[in-house]
Structure 1
Amino acid sequence: MDVQTDNFDPKEFAWQGLTLTPEAAEHVRKLTAGQEGMLGIRLGIKQTGCAGFGYVLDTVKEPHKDDLLFEQDGARLYVPLSAMPFIDGTEVDYVREGLNQLFKFHNPKAQNECGCGESFGVQAD
């Protein structure tokens, strides 16, 4: 029996994109303001944690060739094309929880999260 598999090419998809709440946009602007050459923040993912994937934030001085740019209220969020199948449609928020302030990710693709909220899992379509 011949089984044919197709390669997944993220460039072939129409993405919903990512959004920033006003609080998240303000915090991204604060993080990049006054830092010479700083363009924005990159949101990626990595395999980690008990649920499968974790979010990774990094500053961007030079975008990667496969980065997609989402800009809102002057804040720039760069996302690697390879991460889009896992985080497309995500709203990025910045919240205060007790004494902590942190980015929160409202990801419609996340099927489950670990108890501490540090990692998430997705289910293949």
Structure 2
Amino acid sequence: MTLRTSTRSIPQALTTASITQEEPTCFSQANKLPEWRAAMAEEFNALLRNGTWSLVPRDPAMNLIGCKWVYRIKRKADGSLERYKARLVAKGFHQQEGLNYLETFSPVVKPTTIRTILAVAVAHD
């Protein structure tokens, strides 16, 4: 049996050789590296700037909802490093119906999505 190799090149972003660092799975791993600490600081400062939450006095009857950090390495199309991205996310599975279902989290829409929708709308008049 003869194996043929393709003449097409595989983008570097899809090869395992291009991954030089793994994404942390928890805060204690990420906190050891300055690039992840900077990404977490950037995310936290953005949350404060945008007024994402407000601190309120704790009521003993409150169901507190925790949060966790999620880490991703963003890469360019050629596989090179674009940035380290950290997101602070709520552990929504701790919510209780009737207690803290009053507010809804809405993810941010990417500009490319908006441009695509507008282009389709213009094309269909």
Q: Classify the TM-score, shorter chain.
A: under 0.3
Higher-strand-fraction structure: 1
Q: Greater CA radius of gyration, 1 or 2?
A: 2
TM-score after normalising by structure 1: 0.26
Higher-helix-fraction structure: 2
